[in-house]
Amino acid sequence: MPKLMGTAFLLLMLLPLTFGACSSKGVQTKKRTVTVAGSTSVMPFTEKLAEHFMVDHPDFVVDVQGGGSTAGIQACMNNTVDIGMSSRQLKNEEKLLNQIIVCYDGISLVLNPRNPISDLRLKDVRDIFSGKIKNWKELGWIDRKIDAVTREEGSGTRGSFEELVMNKEEIDDGIMVQDSNGSVKEVVATDPYAIGYISLGLVDDKVKAVIIDGVGPSIDAIKLGQYKIVRPFLYVTHGELDDSGKEFIDFVLSVAGQNVLKKEGLIGAYD
Amino acid sequence: MIKKAFTKEHFVKYILIAFALSSLLFLFLIFIFILAEGIPLFHKVGLKNIIFGFKWAPTKGSFGIFPMIISSFLVTFGALIIGAPLGLSCAIYLSEYSGKKLKLFLKPALELLAGIPSVVYGFLGVIYIVPLVRNYLGGPGFSLLATSIILGVMIFPTVISISFDALMSVPKTYREGSFAMGATKWQTIYKVIVPSAKSGILASFILGMGRAIGETMAVIMVAGNALRIPTSILDPLRTLTSNIALELAYATGDHRLGLFSTGVVLLVIIMTLNYVASFAIRRKVLK
Amino acid sequence: MRINPQFIDKIVKIGLNFQAFFTVGILVAIVAIIFFKGSPYLNMEFIFSSPEDMGRHGGIFSTIVGTIFLVLLSIFVATPLGVGTAIFLTEYTKESWFTKTIRFGVESLAGIPSILYGLFGFIFFVIKLRMGWSLMAGVLTITIMILPTIIRTSEEAIKSVPRNLRIVSYSLSATKWETVTKVVLPSAGPGILTGIMLSVGRAVGETAAVIFTMGSSLRLPTSLMDSGRTMAVHFYILAREGISMEKAYATALVLVLSILFINIVAYYIMNKVTSKYS
């Protein structure tokens, strides 16, 4: 009796495996895979694009990973993935990769909704992140330390932020670090004394977007050139893409693809 | 007929040798790879500069991991401060004051609790502990204190389980002899039982330390990951393990080697802890 | 004035009582919170549909499959390797440099933090061996991670089989291999199985080593080179990004229930087999 149970149990465990083996044999000849990895800013939007794409192209599988812009660029250079996602400009040593501008995205400084401050000067932001301003009372609020959050070094968002806001000044190393847009947003959403920077496309009512030098981050302000903290979302490839990859990119750059992005709060590549 | 059995036996033996060799290969693969990738940087940049350097900016040539070494030790000791006394008290209670039924129920329960993934602890820590620290004590909440609490709770099952075993293995005669001489229960416990279970209890603490210092995901979630040595328990900090996890995906060249060097340091620390622990356990058995 | 030791005894008893309940209480609270916050969202749909919209909607089916594939395959590789090595070390050799080296490796690797497995697996399997983020890279990494545990527990279990059993077996003219398979292994069975179950539990909850090797794709992995998420990885991402608290709790609940299930199965098997032999 125990033997019977044991065998039954083993078979039950093997079921998903056989399922997988069968489907992979049948599936591998049919499914076309595109692997994408990189920026955590770009990732949710790529996922959205992938979802739409795979509805119309059921024989495709688009695999999306995070890791950060630099990780994606590296993975692309190593040919670990087909497409790398970046939310910053390529550095000189990375320029050997093909880059495709997918869309534009603003970087928004965010505060907790309970923070009464709604606008800051760019210089203030710089001073907060370089560690010069440490307390909210210096900005007109209560006597409480500023809990600033930044992204990790390899982040494209951080790279763009450093380029567009910090302007050669270094981010203080006593500042907290989180490794994705989502987690920065979470910290700011739960800590009344926090400040961070995230992709504009990710701002919702959990956090408050900050008006910088009198200009609020909005799609119109960006299009009009008033809000200047903007960076491109790039797809990078190493050499020639295979057909599967090309089809996906074609979709991304098509009107349909661009509309998906615009609906999510991004700015089209052609705008 | 006998010949047949022999060749089958030989066949089996060679297969097992192959398995043992493969295991050896796998085991040493990771070991050697980490050492091979991690040691060169010590030569290139200097052991002192890495271990005692204060600045970690690997893309700019600084590989100082001292703040992170300190932070790793701080959270580990913090975890011990919270986990050891409470865990030991629990073990004492369970071995000396509780009935058979509870004891029977205990082991499986502890194993289940030990199996809860660390990310779950981290998650609950972010939701409950971090705001508590921030609202009642100050600071961002992501702090040495929060991390110590989470890690301390995480090592409860380890400390309780192994200390419990150690306490239970103290012979009944010790207790009986002590009572016969008129000692109270508590006197017996702290003068007789705990000292004889000393090695096992110590081993449980050390193994708990090993678990705490090696923890990564939960720490990333609650520690704040700032690169400075914390000046108070309310300050954020970054451990050696978190650093590897945060930068692994994009590190290249010397930066990547720097992470392996960090790995080597971790290996050394943990292997030392392991040997001390197994030495302590062996002493108990020999006694 | 000396305080009455009986009095101290009473105080201590109350103090220990309190501390013990506090400690256990915290651990129980953790499971309880997961249970109460997660169960409203745990239903058939959650288990059998895959994540949509980065996990904001849908279920966790693809992650359950990912977890099962990763863990089962790792066990399938690590068990024969590990038990075979243990048998070899205990039954077929004398102490030598070879056995000492293996034991050294096993001891040293015990307690190595999982992030170091992630570090190794990512650089070696994903990048250098060009496997990319894949089930295969994950399986290989997890196999190495659980191998020391399986070797160690199997060795202990085999060693604790009384010598008499073996002697009797040989005296009945059984060969070494027959002795091993028909006498030693069945007797050591529960111990070996415990080691395997422990490893299964660890692999199911593992995050650091998996996220860097198997990756975090939301798709259902259908081949060894596919990437995918395990439940633990999915939970981690949901939790830290604040994507959906409800789904996070529900995923955590499934995780905890899986581990509970694994532990129960382990105890059941162990009790069944030991009762057979006692």
Q: How big is the CA angle at B244 (ends A81 and B139), to the nearest 5 degrees?
A: 120
- Given a contact cutoff of 8 angstroms between Cβ atoms, the answer to whether C135 and C224 are in contact is yes
A194 touches chain B (CB under 8 A): yes
> Cβ separation of B247 and A152 shorter than 8 Å?
yes
- Given a contact cutoff of 8 angstroms between Cβ atoms, the answer to whether B99 and C9 are in contact is no
Among chain C residues, CA nearest to A66: C216
In chain B, positions 27-56, which contact chain C (CB-CB < 8 Å)?
Answer: 27-31, 33-34, 37
What pLDDT, on the 0 to 100 scale, is given for residue C173?
78
Among chain C residues, CA nearest to B157: C27
A chain contacts of residue B138, beta-carbon cutoff 8 Å: 145
Over pLDDT 90: what percentage of chain B? 41
What pLDDT, on the 0 to 100 scale, is given for residue A23?
46
Whole-number Cα distances in Å, B141 to A48, A129, B68, B171, B233: 34, 19, 19, 46, 10
Taking the alpha carbons of C193, C194, C197, C198 in that order, is the dihedral positive or negative? negative
pLDDT at A28 over 50: no
Closest CA to A123 of A113, A136, A133: A133
Which chains have at least 3 CB atom pairs separated by less than 8 Å from chain A?
Answer: B, C
A38 bridge partner residues: A67, A85
- Predicted TM-score (pTM) of the model is 0.90
**CA-CA distance, A182 to A41, in Å (whole number)?**
9
Distance of residue C30 Cα from the nearest chain B Cα, in angstroms: 8
What pLDDT, on the 0 to 100 scale, is given for residue B62?
87
In chain C, positions 109-138, which contact chain B (CB-CB < 8 Å)?
Answer: 109-120, 122-124
What pLDDT, on the 0 to 100 scale, is given for residue C123?
92
What pLDDT, on the 0 to 100 scale, is given for residue A83?
94
Mean pLDDT value across residues C88-99? 78
Among chain B residues, CA nearest to C238: B123
List, for residues A164-208, the tens digit of each pLDDT value: 999 888 899 889 999 888 999 999 999 999 999 999 988 988 999
C216 touches chain B (CB under 8 A): no
In chain A, positions 136-165, which contact chain B (CB-CB < 8 Å)?
Answer: 145, 147, 152-154
What pLDDT, on the 0 to 100 scale, is given for residue A24?
45
**pLDDT-wise least confident of B47-51, C168-172, C233-237:** C168-172
> Cβ separation of A153 and B59 shorter than 8 Å?
yes
Distance of residue C172 Cα from the nearest chain B Cα, in angstroms: 15
What pLDDT, on the 0 to 100 scale, is given for residue B21?
86
Q: C6: which 2 tokens? A: 């009986």
pLDDT band at A128 (very low <50, low <70, confident <90, very high): very high
Closest CA to B60 of A109, A162, A233: A162
Look at B40 and A9; give whichever has higher pLDDT: B40
Of the partner residues A69, A153, A191, the one whose CB lies closest to the CB of residue B140: A191
Among chain B residues, CA nearest to C78: B23
A193 touches chain B (CB under 8 A): yes
What pLDDT, on the 0 to 100 scale, is given for residue B1?
55
Mean pLDDT value across residues A236-264? 89
**Which of A63, A78, A85 is the best residue to mutate to test the C interface, defined by the most C CB atoms within 10 Å of its own CB?**
A63
Of the partner residues B59, B134, B252, the one whose CB lies closest to the CB of residue A191: B134
B chain contacts of residue C147, beta-carbon cutoff 8 Å: 23, 26-27
Return the H-helix or E-strand segment holding A235. strand A230-237
**CA-CA distance, C212 to A84, in Å (whole number)?**
16
> Cβ separation of B126 and C239 shorter than 8 Å?
yes
B112 touches chain C (CB under 8 A): yes
Taking the alpha carbons of B223, B226, B227, B228 in that order, is the dihedral positive or negative? negative
pLDDT at A6 over 50: no
- Given a contact cutoff of 8 angstroms between Cβ atoms, the answer to whether A156 and A70 are in contact is yes
Residues contacting C133, CB < 8 A, separation 6+: A35, A37, A63, A65, A80, A81, C126, C213, C214, C215, C216, C217, C227
List, for residues A47-102, the tens digit of each pLDDT value: 999 989 988 888 888 999 988 899 999 999 988 899 999 999 999 989 999 999 99
pLDDT at A114 over 70: yes
In chain B, positions 138-157, which contact chain C (CB-CB < 8 Å)?
Answer: 153, 156-157
C chain contacts of residue A8, beta-carbon cutoff 8 Å: none
C chain contacts of residue A23, beta-carbon cutoff 8 Å: 222
Distance of residue C49 Cα from the nearest chain B Cα, in angstroms: 22
Mean model confidence pLDDT for chain A: 86
Amino acid at A202: L
pLDDT at C141 over 90: yes
pLDDT at B276 over 70: yes
What pLDDT, on the 0 to 100 scale, is given for residue A26?
41
What pLDDT, on the 0 to 100 scale, is given for residue B284?
55
Look at C278 and C115; give whichever has higher pLDDT: C115
B139 touches chain A (CB under 8 A): yes
Of the partner residues B139, B235, B246, the one whose CB lies closest to the CB of residue A152: B246
A vs B, Cβ pairs < 8 A, gives 62
Distance of residue C272 Cα from the nearest chain A Cα, in angstroms: 8
List, for residues B165-224, the tens digit of each pLDDT value: 888 888 888 888 888 888 888 888 888 888 888 888 888 898 899 889 999 999 999 999
Whole-number Cα distances in Å, B82 to A46, A162, B133, B147: 44, 40, 15, 11
Q: ipTM score here?
A: 0.88
What pLDDT, on the 0 to 100 scale, is given for residue B137?
92
Whole-number Cα distances in Å, B197 to A93, A159, B47, B52: 61, 55, 40, 38
B chain contacts of residue C6, beta-carbon cutoff 8 Å: 184
Residues contacting C172, CB < 8 A, separation 6+: none
Over pLDDT 70: what percentage of chain A? 89
